[in-house]
Structure 1
Amino acid sequence: MLQHGHDHYLVVASLAIALMSGFTGLSLTQGASRMSIARRKLVVSMSAIALGSGIWSMHFVAMLGMTLPVQFYYDALITLISAFVAILLTGIALLLVHFGTRTGLRITLAGICLAAGILAMHYIGMSGIQGVRPIYSAAGLGIAILAAFVLCIASFWISYGGRENRNILIGTLGFGVAVVSVHFVAMAGTHFELVEGMNEHAGFWLDNSILAFGVTVSSFVISGAFLLVSVSFAGHPQQEPLPAQTDAAEDLPATESTLAPQADVKIPFEQNGRIHFASSQEVTAVRAEGRYTFIYNAAGRLFSPWSISEMDTKLAEAGFIRCHRSYLINPKFVSGFERKKDNGVCYFEDTSQIEKAPVSRSYLKAVRERLGV
């Protein structure tokens, strides 16, 4: 067996990389629910790249600090695959909490995906070592797996139990500790032995100097993104913890300030053979009736060519919330709410031809939290 050690300065550097990437990735998605679907997909993708590449960079910064009494290399293809796997699994984790109803189960599954990403990245990356062979102990594997799942699930519960700045900061710490702990716990249970005849290998190898160049570039990009996100982080609107909401209202706190529309969206409607536009700030509710969609405002009941799904996507920016598969409501005009067993009813001021809208069971929690009741 070969004795191995670590450069303490690079251990600290690896922790810094993990923390910066965690903060960048978790901050990028703060307030994503108020974005259009297309922009939200872009932000989630950027966040996945930040978190996934942070996992990869942390691992290889630490590996650059590993010392062995013999020379060793890395298989370039396997090293690249390990990075892609980390980004992919991290992306799946973020999709779970940013699209669809955010529940405790989804947050837990997201933490599991993140843990799987860290573990897969570590052991795939280790399998790419050439010249020496890693040998894993059962105890080291078990503790690394347990640490990954416990820490990553906890990190996601902290980060997505609420979307306030403090959740992001504590979640960042949890992410950084999770990535670093899994790596060094796994390494503590790993031994190396010399592989004879390694010169027969025909693949493309990376030595530490080439790997250092790639890791430096990755770390520089992460650091730059970290600085850019940090500039606006302190001024980011605080958000109340909401553990289970629909994607259209996942980060919005139940305060009066958010009951006002976030943006003025022009909604098309047909009247007298012409297309007109209504301000979303003056629309009380939207209702789907079969294949048709109607909006309600002071002018009455108006036919719109937009589908209910299109309305849901575009009016999220205007502060609307879905309360039923066929209804969207503007909280600004809700004058009363009534709970009826596992569903409810929203009532409106006398501003349109609609007096009330049903609240189905699946949307009840989100509506109540949005209205603060």
Structure 2
Amino acid sequence: MFTSSPPSGYVEISGDHSLSLVLLSVFIACLASYTALSLNERVRKNGFFHPALWLLLASFSMGFGIWSMHFIGMSAFSMPMSMHFDLLWTFFSIAPAILASFLAFYLVSRPKHSVLSFALAGVTLGIGIATMHYTGMAAMATNAVYRYHPGLFVLSIVIAVVVSFVALFIFSELRKWMEKWPIKLFTSLLMGLAVSSMHYTGMKAITFFASPSDMAGSHTAHANTNMLIIPIAFGMSFLLILLLFSSVLDRYIDYRISYFDGPTRLPNRRLFEKTLNKPTERCSLAIWHFQNLEQINQSYGYSFGEKVLQQIACTLREAHPGFTDLYRIGTNRFAFLAPSVEPDILVQAMKAIALKWKEPIEIEEKWIELSSVCSVSSVSGTDNPHQLYAEALAVLEYPLLSYEHEVVLFNPSVHSFSFEQEILSGLTRAMKKDELFLVYQPKIMADSHRLAGFEALIRWRHMEHGMLSPGIFIPILEQHHRINELTDWVIDRAARQIAEWEKSGLPNQKIAVNIPGEYVTSPRLKTVLKKTLERYHINPEQLELEITETSVAQSAESAIRAIGSFRAQGFPVALDDFGTGVSSLSFLRQMPITTLKIDKSFVDQVPLSDKDSAILNAIITLGQSLNLHIVIEGVEKAEQVDFLTGTARSLIVQGYYYAKPMVPDELAEWQTHFSAASNAN
């Protein structure tokens, strides 16, 4: 088999390749690679479908592409002898390609990588490509005898292994850039090159011999691959459809998860805000508030309460007028948004709906009486669309409001602004006039006394009420869904501060910013972060995103998916106030976070309390076993620092023991003294 000398009585024959079919085979290899990489991208995402499904589809796509490329490449080959392929061996040859693709993609999709794992993946895929090729060659039936050149035979396998290794390494290490199609295309070309170069090097390694009697009367013929044309054509069509369908399906599911409410299947608050921000000459808004839904939940259980919600949504959906859009914008609130509609028309439509709530509704043989009210507001011309929502809320927060299914139109002389409304109305001014500002609290490596970064904290010097605690205005902004605007401002100011430090000779500074509740899963946050990085030319590693356990528990799958997206972009992600929320250890295992922040309440009694000390030690051990950075908040005493440094290495400490939150000027002076003290130690 591995010799270049012809058998006795045989002569060497040569063949040719059709250039058009050769190019087609290379194109198919690259197309299959592109499809497989696109599908494999979803393996590490916390999507609607299980990652194993994407892994199987990617493996099948790659394996089928390798197989298709081989037999189209064989159909490109012609020689003066007839050839055909054994049907059983031909279809059996696809198995090693699919299996090798599965193992290789599995290895590079794991969370932790090493050069050894990439090498193993490259060897696996390369050997799979070669095995498929030479199994396919064994399926060839012809009167000619063929021999392999040992050097070229080995070289074909080496090429497949090396190029596969390079392609898989680029795919894994540049994963965060794979959303950019030029990078993905380049990687696909490399992987397609691994397949096609192996095939044509393998064909170069083979020499055909035939007896003169068999050659008599023979003419140049292509390999007889007619039986493969239909399955290959069907298969490649399937690959294209699979790529398109999976992409559309994934985007559709993302859209449904992001913009629609689960229990009622109505558009949610995010879509409401997106629609609200669209410019229009006039817009009217009606918000239905159901006061006693929480009481129903407590009395009958949340499962029953969800059915009440669904019944309300169904009634509103059936009754709502055609000129409005219906949304669920809160736990007990539904909104009708009516562009280009006069408020009086909307009021009349809402009064018709109000009649439906005056009679009890029957659910599971229980009669439920609802207490509700509807607020209506309207803006026109150049009015801020947020004013529309604020005025509707002002009606709902009016202290003398009754919940007897009334429809109340906003009246500025009656629904005067409360303190909450003053906070809400003053937010934009405060951000523009620098009434809002950031302070930064240092984070210190406990064992080396080196600076590990800062946490950005918000403060408000109100023009009328003086210095306001975040504990006062943050809940108001959260309740009225204005916290996202403030978060955008905080991200911008923190990034700007990093850029200013860079210019002043303090490179690689890191700042952590808090990301509230449902904003973690908002598509808007991803856009804000991207624009901020571009504006200030900083690296994502310098901006750490802190999220709370509560925000994860509210929508676990969406939050985990969002965190994975942030990590893919290069942002560190910290789980804040660990131990005070309701997330389970299974969520902690699934979340691709980099840092665990332990709440101050676990540190206060350390080391005096043996129980608190044991719990804190256990949490630290758990976090470090998951290869997470550990930040201890609220450290105020030397005894606490001594306990922590004696408990574990590489802990990060944050608290008044080292520094209070400071403005940049104070921080510069503190850093000078701290650096001097650290060098002295």
- TMscore range, shorter length: 0.5 to 0.7
Q: 1:139 to 1:266 in 2, by over 3 A?
A: same
**Structure 2 residue aligned with 1:266:** 553
Label 1:138 to 1:347 Cα distance change in 2 as closer, same or farther (>3 A). same
Within the candidate set 291, 296, 300, 2:580 is matched to 296
Aligned to 2:463: none
Find the counterpart in structure 1 of residue 173 from structure 2: 161
| Counterpart selection for 1:145 from 148, 157, 168 | 157
Contact kept? 2:28, 2:69, Cα under 8 Å: yes
Q: How far does the alpha carbon of each residue in 1:167-215 deviate from its partner, in whole angstroms, 9 at most, with x for none?
A: 4222111101111111111101112245999xxxxxxxx9521112222
Matched residue, 2:474: none
Q: Show CA shifts across 1:219-275 (max 9, x none).
A: 222233345578799xx989xxxxxxxxxxxxxx7474865589954389xxxxxxx
User: Are the structure 2 counterparts of residues 142 and 109 from structure 1 closer, same or farther at C-alpha, using a change threshold of 3 Å?
Assistant: same
3-state SS of 1:326 partner: helix
Mapping for residues 273-352 of structure 1, pairs under 5 Å: 284=576, 295-297=579-581, 308=585, 310-313=586-589, 315-316=590-591, 320-321=593-594, 326-327=622-623, 344-347=650-653
Matches within 5 A, 1:4-153: 4-30=15-41, 32-35=43-46, 39-131=50-142, 132-153=144-165
Structure 1 residues 178 and 326: alpha-carbon distance in aligned structure 2, compared to 1, 3 A threshold: same
Instruction: State yes or no: 1:221 paired with 2:517.
Output: no
Question: Aligned partners of 2:577, 2:44: CA distance in 1, in Å?
Answer: 20
Inter-partner Cα distance in structure 1 for 2:543 and 2:204: 52
User: CA 1:219–1:344 in 2, change beyond 3 Å: closer, same or farther?
Assistant: same
> CA separation in 1, counterparts of 2:655 and 2:52?
36
One of 164, 178, 188 as aligned partner of 1:172 = 188
Shift in alpha-carbon separation, 1:329–1:122, aligned structure 2, 3 A: closer
1:343 to partner: Cα distance: 6.0
Percent of residue pairs bearing the same amino acid type: 23
Structure 1 counterpart of 2:566: none
Q: 1:177 to 1:38 in 2, by over 3 A?
A: same
Contact 2:575 2:593 in 1 (8 A): no
Please tell me the root mean square deviation across aligned C-alpha atoms, in Å: 4.3
1:185 aligns with one of 182, 198, 201: 201
Unaligned ranges ≥5, structure 2: 1-11, 215-222, 251-522, 528-539, 564-573, 597-619, 635-644, 657-681
The answer as to whether partners of 1:261 and 1:320 remain within 8 angstroms in 2 is: no
2:207 partner amino acid? H
Aligned to 1:210: 227
Q: Deviations over 1:34-63 (max 9, x none)?
A: 326972111111111111111111111111
Which residue number in structure 1 is paired with residue 606 of structure 2? none
Q: Quick one: distance in 2 between partners of 1:329 and 1:349?
A: 23
CA contact (8 A) 2:43 2:52 kept: no
Q: Give the structure 2 partner of residue 365 of structure 1.
A: none
- What amino acid is aligned across from residue 221 of structure 1 in structure 2? F
> Structure 1 pair 86/256, CA: closer, same or farther in 2 (3 Å)?
same
Task: Give the residue type in structure 1 aligned to 2:238.
Answer: V
Provide TM-score, normalisation by structure 2. Answer: 0.38
Query: What is the number of equivalent residue pairs in this alignment?
Result: 295
Cα distance, 1:329–1:99 mapped onto 2, change above 3 Å: closer
CA contact (8 A) 1:32 1:43 kept: yes
Structure 1: segments with no counterpart, 5+ residues: 198-205, 239-252, 269-278, 287-294, 351-373
Q: Which amino acid letter does the alignment assign opposite residue 284 of structure 1?
A: D
Change (3 A) 1:343 1:102: farther
Letter in 2 for 1:136: Y
3-state DSSP of counterpart to 2:146: strand
Deviation string 1:111-151 (CA, Å, 9 cap, x unpaired) is 11111111111111111111244321112202212211221
Whether the 8 Å CA contact 2:66–2:97 is kept in 1: the answer is yes
**Structure with greater Cα Rg:** 2
Maintained 8 Å contact 1:159/1:170: no
Whole-angstrom distance in 1 between the partners of 2:168 and 2:129: 14
CA–CA separation in structure 1 for the residues paired with 2:577 and 2:92:
49
